[in-house]
Amino acid sequence: MRILETLFHDKYVSGNEIASALKISRAAVHKQVNALRKNGYVILSSKKGYMLSKKADILDESEIKSFFDKPLSIAKKIICLKTADSTQTQLRRLAENSDAAEGIVLTAETQSEGYGRRKRKWSSNKGGLWFSFLLMPEMTPENASKLALVICAAVNRFFEKNYNFDLKIKWPNDLLYKNKKLAGILVEMSAEHDRINWIIAGIGINVSNILPESLQKESVSLKEILKTGVNRSQLLAGLLSEIEISYALFKKEGFGVFADEYNRKAAFINEPVAIDDGKRQLKGIDLGVDENGFLLLKTKNGVEKIVSGTLRKI
């Protein structure tokens, strides 16, 4: 237990009670309270003790887990950093350690080298939600791209259920609000020919971060949409809980059970699009994804099945 877990919003807790619960001295309690205040927490003090008045908008493992309805297998351990080159890069270093296990989540307040698909730079200012989590599913490598679609559907579902606004999925894994990017999902893996060693799923969400001027026409933040701030610890807890449900179903049933949901929310369905798969550029009509996770593109030469690429509307 840490000092934050002993404080309440509606009543004072004496220094003696806190010291006893944490098995530390009164002086240590005072020191830790001051440290929390420096991090942005508003803590009132009186002869009665201490009371939490306002939580800072910082990510903290104990606070995040306090929003779980039950323990999550994908979030056994949550590492909260002030800054990182990239949460993907940091978590990859841990994943390559033989002792690493599924269930590590890593967040950072800022990223100096955040990136998305094809290593495109991702603006990661303070106030956004930047996190990655480590999975070690027993499945073949070709399922990794399907898992990216599943996670994207789960994140989309969470936002619609909890914030009641309509989002669209831009294939394969961006979330759009009125054609502006709110969030992106990135899945990377280490695999052998018939098995996955590990998968790292990274998610970047514009929450209350200030977007660079160069991105304001194409991106949007949650704060802009809702016209109010959001508790990022609660947001992260809710997202992980929703992803856990979908991850378990995917491992049991495969992607087919998610295909209809994904297509219902997909942007540009039955519209002309262009796709760059890294080797060629194709144009055609977007028919959505099939039960195996392939994007179906109707071209002049027939229907192409595409595993990955970059899509744009034309």
Clarify whether residues 18 and 107 are in a common domain.
Answer: no
Rounded to an integer, the average pLDDT of 71-83 is: 97
Clarify whether residues 256 and 293 are in a common domain.
Answer: no
- Name the pLDDT band for 118 (thresholds 50, 70, 90): low
Distance between CA atoms of 169 and 51, rounded to whole angstroms?
A: 43
Clarify whether residues 10 and 35 are in a common domain.
Answer: yes
Clarify whether residues 146 and 191 are in a common domain.
Answer: yes
Where is pLDDT greater, at 97 or 293? 293
Phi, psi of 299 (to 5 degrees): -110, 175
Last residue of a domain, one of 264, 281, 296: 264
- Name the pLDDT band for 41 (thresholds 50, 70, 90): confident
DSSP states of 197-224: EEEEEEEEE-SSPPPPGGGTTTB--HHH
Clarify whether residues 184 and 305 are in a common domain.
Answer: no
**In 3-state terms, what secondary structure has residue 174?**
strand
**Burial (CB count within 10 angstroms: exposed 0-12, middle 13-18, buried 19+), residue 217:** exposed
Neighbouring-strand partners of residue 311: 275
Residue 277 scores a pLDDT above 90: no
State the CB neighbour count (10 A cutoff) for residue 120.
Answer: 11
Clarify whether residues 302 and 159 are in a common domain.
Answer: no
Clarify whether residues 71 and 39 are in a common domain.
Answer: no
Please report, rounded to a whole number, the percentage of residues in the chain having pLDDT higher than 90.
72
User: CA-CA distances (angstroms) from residue 50 to 10, 32, 35?
Assistant: 11, 12, 14
pLDDT of residue 119: 66
State the CB neighbour count (10 A cutoff) for residue 111.
Answer: 25
Clarify whether residues 102 and 185 are in a common domain.
Answer: yes
Q: What is the pLDDT of residues 203-252, one digit of tens each?
A: 999 999 999 888 889 999 999 999 998 999 999 999 999 999 999 999 99
Range of the domain at 37: 3-54
Residue 18 maps to which CATH number? 1.10.10.10
Amino acid identity, residue 47? K
Q: How many domains does the chain have?
A: 3
pLDDT of residue 9: 65
Clarify whether residues 159 and 11 are in a common domain.
Answer: no
Residue 299 maps to which CATH number? 2.30.30.100
Distance between CA atoms of 255 and 62, rounded to whole angstroms?
A: 33
Q: What is the pLDDT of residues 154-197, one digit of tens each?
A: 999 999 999 988 899 999 989 999 999 999 999 999 998 888 99
Rounded to an integer, the average pLDDT of 111-115 is: 83
**Burial (CB count within 10 angstroms: exposed 0-12, middle 13-18, buried 19+), residue 240:** buried
Clarify whether residues 30 and 67 are in a common domain.
Answer: no
Clarify whether residues 161 and 196 are in a common domain.
Answer: yes
Amino acid identity, residue 5? E
Check residue 34 and give left, alpha or beta (phi > 0: left; psi -120 to 50: alpha). alpha
pLDDT of residue 57: 77
State the CB neighbour count (10 A cutoff) for residue 64.
Answer: 22
pLDDT of residue 127: 94
Contact 253, 147 (CB under 8 A): no
The whole-angstrom distance between residue 129's C-alpha and the CA centroid of its chain comes to 7
Tell me which range, 7-11, 60-64, 205-209, is most confidently predicted by mean pLDDT.
205-209
Clarify whether residues 189 and 281 are in a common domain.
Answer: no
Contact 207, 232 (CB under 8 A): yes
Residue 211 is encoded by which pair of tokens? Answer: 């977007």
Strands 168-170 and 129-135: unpaired
Instruction: Give the DSSP letter of residue 148.
Output: H
Residue 40 scores a pLDDT above 80: no
Q: Which of 84, 94, 18, 100 is nearest to 51 (CA)?
A: 18
pLDDT of residue 52: 86
Secondary structure tally for the chain: helices H, strands E: 9, 14
